Amino acid sequence: MNNRITELFNIKYPIALGGMAGVTDAKLAAAVSEAGGLGTIAGATESAESLAAEIRRLRDITALPFAVNIPLIAPQSKDLIQVVIENKVPVVITAAGSPAVFTAALKQAGSRVVHVIPNVDAAKKAEGAGVDAVIAEGFESGGFASPFEIGTLALIPQVVDAVRIPVLAAGGIVDARGYAACRILGADGVSVGTAFLATVECTKIGSAWREQILNGRDVSTKILARGIAPMRMLANRWTEELEKLVSAGVTRKEIMKFIFSGDPMSSEDGPFACGQAVGLVRKIRTVKEVMDDFVVGSEELLKRMAASD
């Protein structure tokens, strides 16, 4: 399955692991890379030292290409950028900030640069800044939510029509149907988070969160803190507490502190970012099984569609 994304990243399938803070560690990232995709280490909650250690851990597991995701809004982002440059990380995914700041330095160091965007204008600016590809993230995705609230179905074809560089789709993609739909919309590949949360190799979430994922429904996520620090999260008692904080008029800093106060390994539930398609996740699988569903399942789906015409 060769296309612009597989050639750009030197991977087998155009499927990237979405960077999820505190969850997408070296083990999970390596498993995705070994299964033919692009594994991603999330840098949002890492220090320079811990990120460097995580990169070393991944390279002890696999020699295949991988990515590091760095939200530029993070206070330590400059230090994290220096770490990926020093460690010659093959792919760097930047988000939540201007792609013009670090793209040139990253490319000069030999990294492919991908920037996460929420709308067409941002995609054009990222292309102008020299990035190699963009991740067009629809409003269905977990974690930081776009204030523009554009869904994946509407966003992807508009971005594809607006830029010449490759586009990966993100938001609400958890199975072969979502993958095939995004490819039909013109995306060169996909970036997937929630589907990989329910895998054997995802060991950074506790039993309570895993149970909530498997019991998730179409209405199990909510956008919290609109206009301050919008986040899509699993609806539970913690989101109720967050809503109280927002109503009380606390600062953005306090809201972010609350959101990141949860321990992913806790046996109790807590603040947990999750995508809107969690209602389609029903069992724990291996990373390879998830990847096979995307690749083989979508091929079978498209063949059935062609045969029915």
**pLDDT, tens digit, 9 for 90 and up, residues 194-213:** 999 999 999 988 777 888 88
Q: Looking at the domain assignment, is residue 171 inside a domain?
A: yes
pLDDT of residue 174: 94
Q: Looking at the domain assignment, is residue 216 inside a domain?
A: no
Are the CB atoms for 40 and 18 separated by under 8 Å? yes
Average pLDDT over residues 201-228: 86
Tokens 């994922």 found at: 213
User: How many CB atoms are closer than 10 A to CB 23?
Assistant: 22
Phi and psi for 305 in degrees, rounded to 5?
-65, -40
Reported as a pLDDT band with limits 50, 70 and 90, residue 8 is: very high
Q: Looking at the domain assignment, is residue 94 inside a domain?
A: yes
Instruction: Give the up-direction half-sphere exposure of residue 156: CA atoms within 13 A in the CB hemisphere.
Output: 27
- Percent above pLDDT 70 for the chain: 96
Q: Looking at the domain assignment, is residue 209 inside a domain?
A: no
Burial of 34 (0-12, 13-18, 19+ CB in 10 A): middle
Which domain, by its residues, includes 295? 4-204+284-308
pTM: 0.90
User: For 99-132, how does the pLDDT look when each residue is reduced to its tens digit (9 = 90+)?
Assistant: 999 999 999 999 999 999 999 999 999 999 999 9
Q: Looking at the domain assignment, is residue 63 inside a domain?
A: yes
**What CATH number does residue 10 fall under?**
3.20.20.70
pLDDT of residue 308: 73
Are the CB atoms for 208 and 269 separated by under 8 Å? yes
Q: Looking at the domain assignment, is residue 92 inside a domain?
A: yes
Longest CA–CA span in the chain (Å) reads: 57
How do 231-234 and 143-144 pair as beta strands? antiparallel
Amino acid at 20: M
Average pLDDT value for the chain: 90
Where is average pLDDT lowest: 5-9, 49-53, 165-169, 227-231? 227-231
- Provide the number of structural domains found in the chain: 1
Q: Looking at the domain assignment, is residue 223 inside a domain?
A: no
pLDDT at 224 over 70: yes
Are the CB atoms for 28 and 180 separated by under 8 Å? no
Are the CB atoms for 116 and 96 separated by under 8 Å? yes
CA dist., res. 278 & res. 140, Å (int): 10
Q: Looking at the domain assignment, is residue 212 inside a domain?
A: no
